[in-house]
Amino acid sequence: MSGAVSKTVVLWLVLVAMAALAAPIAMAAGRASLTEIEKQVMCPVCGTLLQLAESPQAQREKAFIQRLIAAGKTEAQIKDALVAEYGTEVLALPQDSGFSLSAYVVPIVAFLVAAVALALGALRWRRASGSGRGQPAAAGPQGDDAERLDADLARYDL
């Protein structure tokens, strides 16, 4: 009985220790960094990734991100704040709603259409080549033609 209790206590201690270790790791994983965020957002004035931009507006945007990082905001919160300031076009990846959705849907639809077209084409080609396979070979020349052919072949026989 006491063995079972001690096992349970040990198990709980292990779980608590794991949770204690996991918390800082998770926090570190969620911590925002300017290097990561500037790869995912745009400089709205330059029309390039913020990472590549050095314009005065880009400098202000980077400083804004730094301030939010210093305030302990997560990456998602910082991106939300950027969207609130500059609109959705500040995000480097298209949104999954409205017209921007077409950036995701059109390639998928185009791929599916191409795949279906290829499959149908392959099916038709197989049918066409399969239909000619079982037919008997064409009959040879008959009557006078056969005699003339034999005579010609005999003349050129080496």
Partner 1 sequence: MSVRSSIAVLGVLALVGLLVYGLVIKGGSRVAVGDPAPNTSLPRLEGGGDESLAQYKGRWVLVNFWASWCEPCKQEAPALEEFQRQHGGTKFTVLGVDTRDLTGDGREFVREYGLSYPQLRDGDGGGAHDYGTTGVPENFLVDPAGKVRWLLPGPVDEQYLEEQVEPFLPKEKS
Using CB under 8 A, list all residues that contact partner 1.
Answer: 44-45, 55-57, 59-61, 64, 84-89, 99, 102, 106, 113
Kindly state the DSSP code that residue 89 receives in the 8-state scheme.
G
Residues 6+ apart with CB under 8 A from 35: 51
Amino acid identity for residue 91 in this structure: L
**Min. distance of Cβ 131 from partner 1 in angstroms?**
21
57, 46 contact by CB (below 8 A): yes
**Min. distance of Cβ 149 from partner 1 in angstroms?**
46
Pick between residue 74 and residue 91 the one whose CB is nearest to partner 1. 91
Pick between residue 33 and residue 88 the one whose CB is nearest to partner 1. 88
**Min. distance of Cβ 137 from partner 1 in angstroms?**
35
Residues 6+ apart with CB under 8 A from 88: 95, 100
**Min. distance of Cβ 55 from partner 1 in angstroms?**
8
Give the C-alpha separation, 119 to 125, whole Å.
10
Pick between residue 78 and residue 151 the one whose CB is nearest to partner 1. 78
Pick between residue 32 and residue 43 the one whose CB is nearest to partner 1. 43
Q: In the structure encoding, which two tokens stand for residue 35, read together?
A: 């290097």
